[in-house]
Chain A
Amino acid sequence: MSAAASNGGLAQLWANLRAAPRRLRETMFRSGSPVSDRARSTFIFGNVFLHLHPARVHRWSLRWPTTWGLGMIALAAFLVTLVTGVLLMFYYKPYPEVAYESIKNIHFVVPTGRFMRNIHRWAAHVMVIAVLAHMARVFFTAAYRRPREFNWLIGMGLLVTTLGLSFSGYLLPWDQLAYWAITIGANIAQSPREVTDALNLTSSFDPGGLNKVLLLGAEEVGEEALIRFYLFHVMLLPLILVALLAVHFWRIRKDGGLARPANAEQRLGPPHPATYPVFTEAPQKTYHLAAIVRGRTPAVGNGPEATVPAMPHLLYGELALFMLTVGICLVLSVLFNAPLKELANPAVPENPAKAPWYFLGLQELVSFSAFMGGIGIPTIVLIGLGLIPYLDREEAGTGEWFGGPGGGALVARAAVFGLTAAVALEAFAIHFGWLRQWWPEVPQLLITAFNPGTVLTAIYAAYSLWLVRRHNSTRAGALGLFTCFLAGFVVLTVIGTYFRGPNWEFYWSPAHWPGH
């Protein structure tokens, strides 16, 4: 082998080595900088993490009032809890009393531990609020309609999973708050016994007992319950949530992006000069992808005017919302510490023993009847919400805030009605009591069936049916029902949070609570 050839090989090696960083970048991001419209598109669909986005997105979807960014905030909050949750797992030990010690360690000893735990806690709250608000947005803009019905159901699954994650995380610190909230929760799971006991069936048919044993792995909250809730919180429910999220996002794309009104393009006006049209005229020729896509190709009749490249318009918006969410969580975490009460004491409950705020409406309902408040009414509400896209199949108002017959005025009236009914019924029950105070011998089944919670549900259902008849529109009924549901949720939550004191008595303010 000649010396020259050997030198050439080494020179090539050296050149390759020097080019390696550039080649690494090029092989990682195959499309280069997103400077042209084409490169912007490949930036999106050539990237495994971004390709869930469309390459181009409708301008209507980017309007702030279309979504208020609520779904993205919910996702961002979930990502924050995911990262901080994994960090907390470095130190957390899921065993009674040891668990409490480890949370105390995280709080007082672990570097940045308290801050991480605060962020985890407040991001969870942000997530619950964002999920509820996102659901309200989708409902009020009538975005659950064809072809998005099924995604509404996936969204409900996400709501339930989110609440399950919050609830299961509540036990982990093993403090007084945790212990009694889970004791109450497990007994709610057991509450079908309220009915089977009254019917004398429990010895042969006991779904309540089965629920409780599956949840706790024992008759009482103890080490088996803690390890189960840990499993739910860090593995089972996150897996379910991620799976549902994947379907949820995929369906958004497959269902044609975000819902928008039919005349969205006229209302948007001419596009911003900074948008980059790919082609300038709407194609009129129709193409069929036989046996693959139903109907015409999507571009027919649609010029490029209404869409803009997702990179940067959508991605930067999402990033801004992510930073907003992180900012909110950080500010809350600097200002407020996540609560940690005394070590769990199975002999002495907190007084009052309150669940996290988003469950206090439920706690108010179970203070009338454990079964109806904890299982019956929530099931009715979930079924009612799930049926909405299948019962309202009108088309007027899709993509519009409060779209549909009656519109904003109907929603305002329904809100007043829903608030008044809930407040009036609560005031009545607080002032006059209920069946048992009047007739102590009243059968339990009668209270289970007829209590302020079920009466309120029936009033809302009747009001909604009346709206369907009055406006001759299923959408009007749906608007009324959902608004009443929100109003009832708010009233019950506010009463549970601010007006219930020791022994769950009514107090105008915590300042009036007796010392104990």
Chain B
Amino acid sequence: MSTAHPSFHGRSRLDPEPLPRRDFLGLAALWSAAAALAFAAVGALRLPKAAVLPSPSKKFRVQLPESLAAGEAFVPPGRSVALFRDTQGVFAVSTVCTHLGCIVKPTPHGFDCPCHGSQFAADGSVVRGPAPAPLPWLAVSSLGGGSILVDEGSTVPAGTKVAV
């Protein structure tokens, strides 16, 4: 051999092999650890997003009071729905504020939100305040005998009234 730096393996320290074994093992350890951490992080972040959310039935049955006048709201106890009855029929407006989820209170002119001052007209449209959307109307159906089935989980276009 006629190289300037002869060595035992035919290579010199100034002319090392392209990827020494030590470096290969180090890089493999580094990247496998990084990949494992990345996958573990994804898995750990995936865990808190529940596959099945608790979804209790949002349907309930209610009897409207005989004395309910047109334009007057009836809020069944413990529910976030205001029920109305006029000559065209019965309809339900959600009382969950579209701003930040407080329960709005029926007033003679519509609904007021206690948390951030949003005001809604009787048909649910926003009159003032920060609410970005009107109060949704909810599906109602008549069960006969003045009994009403309200589904808080499904919305209908505003103006949908159901004859009883």
Contact = CB atoms under 8 A, between A and B. Distances in A.
A395 interface: no
Interface residues of B, number: 30
A198 interface: yes
Given A349-B114, A353-B114, A436 B126 contact: yes
Interface stretch (B62-70, B83-91, B99-107): B99-107
B132 interface: yes
Contact of A184 (B50, B54, B102): B102
B53 A436 contact: no
Contacts of A447: 130, 132
B146 interface: no
Contact of B99 (A352, A370, A448): A370
Interface in B1-60: 48-50, 53-55
A212 B143 CA distance: 35
A217 B55 CA distance: 11
A505 B113 CA distance: 10
A222 B99 contact: no
Interface stretch (A71-79, A186-194, A398-406): A186-194
Interface range on chain A (Cβ under 8 Å from partner): 35 or more
A370 B102 contact: no
Contact of B113 (A186, A346, A503): A503
B116 to A, nearest CB: 4
B53 A218 contact: yes
A479 B101 CA distance: 38
Given A504-B116, A504-B117, A444 B132 contact: yes
A183 B100 contact: yes
B129 A436 contact: yes
B103 A349 contact: yes
B115 interface: yes
A502 B114 contact: yes
Given A349-B115, A505-B117, A187 B101 contact: yes
Nearest to B119: A503
A366 B100 contact: yes
Contacts of B54: 218, 222, 224
B79 interface: yes
* Consensus secondary structure, chain A interface: helix
Contacts of B117: 367, 503-505
A509 interface: no
B115 A352 contact: yes
A89 to B, nearest CB: 22
Given A214-B48, A222-B54, A349-B115, A433 B102 contact: no
Contacts of A367: 116-117, 129-130
Interface string A431-455: 0010011001000100110000000
Contacts of A191: 100
A372 to B, nearest CB: 10
Contacts of A180: 102, 115
A197 B133 contact: yes
A363 B116 contact: yes
A437 B78 CA distance: 32
Given A367-B116, A370-B130, A440-B126, A348 B103 contact: yes
B101 A184 contact: yes
B44 to A, nearest CB: 12
A353 B115 contact: yes
A262 interface: no
A470 B4 CA distance: 67
A29 to B, nearest CB: 41
Contacts of A433: 128
B127 to A, nearest CB: 7
Interface in B71-98: 77-80
B102 A197 contact: no
B132 A198 contact: yes
Interface of B: 48-50, 53-55, 77-80, 99-103, 105, 112-117, 125-130, 132-133
25 contacts: A180-B102, A183-B100, A183-B101, A184-B115, A186-B101, A194-B132, A197-B132, A213-B50, A218-B50, A218-B54, A222-B54, A224-B50, A224-B54, A347-B77, A347-B79, A349-B115, A366-B130, A367-B117, A369-B132, A444-B133, A502-B114, A503-B117, A504-B114, A504-B116, A504-B117
Closest A-B pairs by Cβ, 6 of them = A351-B114, A504-B117, A367-B116, A187-B100, A187-B101, A444-B132
Interface of A: 180, 183-184, 186-188, 191, 194, 197-198, 210, 213-214, 217-219, 222, 224, 228, 346-353, 363, 366-370, 373, 433, 436-437, 440, 444, 447-448, 502-505
